[in-house]
Amino acid sequence: MNKFMRKNEHGFTLVELLIALTLLAVLVLAVTGMLAGLPRFYRDLRDEEEGKEEVWTALNFMARELRSAKGFNKNSTTDQLVFRDENNQQISYRRNSSNNRLERRVGSAGSWVPMIDNIRVGDWEIAYSVSNQNDPARFSQIVLELKGESLTIRPRMYRSEDVGGGWFE
């Protein structure tokens, strides 16, 4: 046999190299695209968690005040809650529709202090359970709902005041 006629079968053909490089390029592009989206995913997840933490902080703050409430105003609605604290100061919570904030006010003439921003219609609701239908200011339970999170508040103790009483069974 002629030594020039023998085939050298060591190594790769040009077609095999092009296929391997194409597969490698596709793999690198897929991994790069996935890694490029991770910071945005992390930022979105962090913003969502911070928002939930802000909501729970506000709900727990309100719950602490409500548990020690001395008397409730019968003009409280599903959008605004008005009550007296243990120091006999009027405390009010409301959703301000002009700037979409949940606000708190101490006293009847005090200024409204923002608690949480971006409270849209339907994000803030108060549900009352009344123990005596003849006295709508005597609640046995209040449910606060804020941005899909809800907290049920029941009294630690029941007061037996006749006028503007607090919590009742």
pLDDT, tens digit, 9 for 90 and up, residues 40-79 = 888 988 988 888 898 889 888 988 888 888 777 777 777 7
23-36 pLDDT, tens digit each: 999 999 999 988 88
Contact 129, 139 (CB under 8 A): yes
User: What is the model's pLDDT at position 47?
Assistant: 86
Report how far residue 107's alpha carbon sits from residue 105's, in angstroms, rounded to the nearest whole number: 6
Per-residue buried b or exposed e for 133-159, using 16+ beta carbons within 10 Å of the residue's own CB: eeeebbbeebebbbbeeebebebeeee
Query: Is the pLDDT score of 96 beyond 60?
Result: yes
Non-local CB neighbours of 38 within 8 Å, separated by 6+ positions = none
Q: Are strands 113-116 and 101-106 parallel, antiparallel or unpaired?
A: antiparallel
Quick check: helix, strand or coil at residue 107? Answer: coil
Q: Which is more confidently placed, 124 or 23?
A: 23
The mean predicted confidence, pLDDT, of the chain is 80
Is 9's pLDDT higher than 80?
no
- Rounded Cα gap, residues 168 and 160, in angstroms: 7
Which of these, 95, 98, 97, 91, lies nearest to 116 by C-alpha position? 95
Retrieve residue 160's tokens: 């037996």
Task: Give rounded-to-5 percent helix, strand, coil for the chain.
Answer: 30, 25, 40
Using the 8-state DSSP alphabet, how is residue 85 labeled?
-
